[in-house]
Amino acid sequence: MHVPLVDLKAQYQNIQHEIEHSISSVISDTAFIGGKYVNQFERSFAELYGVKHCIPVANGTDSLYILMRMLGIGAGDEVITVANSWISSAETIGQTGARPVFVDVDPVYFSSMDEVSFEKAITPKTKAVIAVHLHGQMLQIDKIKVICDERNILLIEDCAQSHFASLGGKRAGTFGIAGSFSFYPGKNLGAYGDAGCIITNDDALAEKCRMYANHGSLKKHDHRMEGINSRMDGLQAAILSAKLPHVLQWTADRIRVAGTYDALLGSELHITIPKVRPGTVHTFHLYIIQCEKRDQLKDYLAEKNIETALHYPTILPLLPAYNHLGYTAANFPNAYKYQQACLSIPIYPEITNEQIQYVASAINAFYATGKGA
């Protein structure tokens, strides 16, 4: 049996009609950039999140960059971010001229920074934090928000992996000054190309971001400042709108799949299953186990036609791109330990029970047959 890590084709086949209708509408209306499909998506997404503004942009990396630029972050500033993440949540800091300051992940949930390591990293130069809700798991956002409010630090949430995750019923992206989303195809809500957005309740920030993403103008030829070209295109917006009515069900399906894995893998002594932070909804963009003999297990699963991945094989501060900052693995003991042991196993809404059983039995068999000893 083949089990892919994600199966975008299965999703497409279930909603093929809606997708094809939305694509042909955009083309017959020639609404390629901006226009009614983009307007419609931004209204629906803002409504779903209960926020005043949704600013559609070209991708979830630009959304972070645009936010930081429009919040006045630049040379001389420090921005705190987490050691274990996709590079966007660090590289965009450098792009503004500011310096990224990496902190370790928390030792229980392993998903993102905790408030203790965050607070330790604050200096008089700290202007903002990129709070990354990784894997679909909320970080300790309530505690981090209290510290940000006390110390006058801008709280930017990177929700690229955590659409619809929540704490106490309040969704990721609505705690800080703004939330940043990616709609990269494999994300929990994915377009058929690059797309992203910013959500915020701050009117002035929303207007600036919207302007900056569109060459510094809100109206044609009325450039109030220099900007960039980071617009969502109509095809992506229409595809996202077609998917929106399904996304809460897909999210519930991911959570159900995670529960099945928990039950099948929870008693295996050689692995640790992901822990969900109490009071939160984890939306399982990824299901990551920590395991003994990780690389051997990965190879064994590949032989059984089961795709797995590492998120991430190298933590950000140890990448060549950040050599100049002089960090070592000893600076990030939890993230480094996670890097050595993490393995992402297949999860997507359409995965069948047979596939889940097959993956779990293969993992259990690896350890039971002594291969993992």
Q: Which residue ranges make up the site for ligand PLP (CB under 6 A)?
A: 59-61, 85-86, 88-89, 132, 158, 160-161, 182, 184, 194, 196
CB of 371 to ligand PLP, least distance (A): 32
The span from the CA of 100 to the CA of 88, in Å, is 11
Burial of 144 (0-12, 13-18, 19+ CB in 10 A): buried
Do the Cβ atoms of 356 and 261 come closer than 8 Å?
A: yes
Calculate the alpha carbon distances from 177 to 102, 127, 206, 304 in Å. Answer: 21, 13, 10, 46
Region class of 164: left (phi > 0), else alpha (psi between -120 and 50), else beta: left
CB of 95 to ligand PLP, least distance (A): 12
Q: Whose Cβ is closer to ligand PLP: residue 42's or residue 194's?
A: 194
CB of 156 to ligand PLP, least distance (A): 11
**What values do phi and psi take at 118, rounded to 5?**
-60, -50
E-state strands within 246-341:
271-272, 280-281, 287-291
CB of 180 to ligand PLP, least distance (A): 7
CB of 99 to ligand PLP, least distance (A): 19
Q: Whose Cβ is closer to ligand PLP: residue 91's or residue 268's?
A: 91
Peptide bond into 37 cis (omega under 30): no
Q: Whose Cβ is closer to ligand PLP: residue 109's or residue 358's?
A: 109
Do the Cβ atoms of 183 and 240 come closer than 8 Å?
A: yes
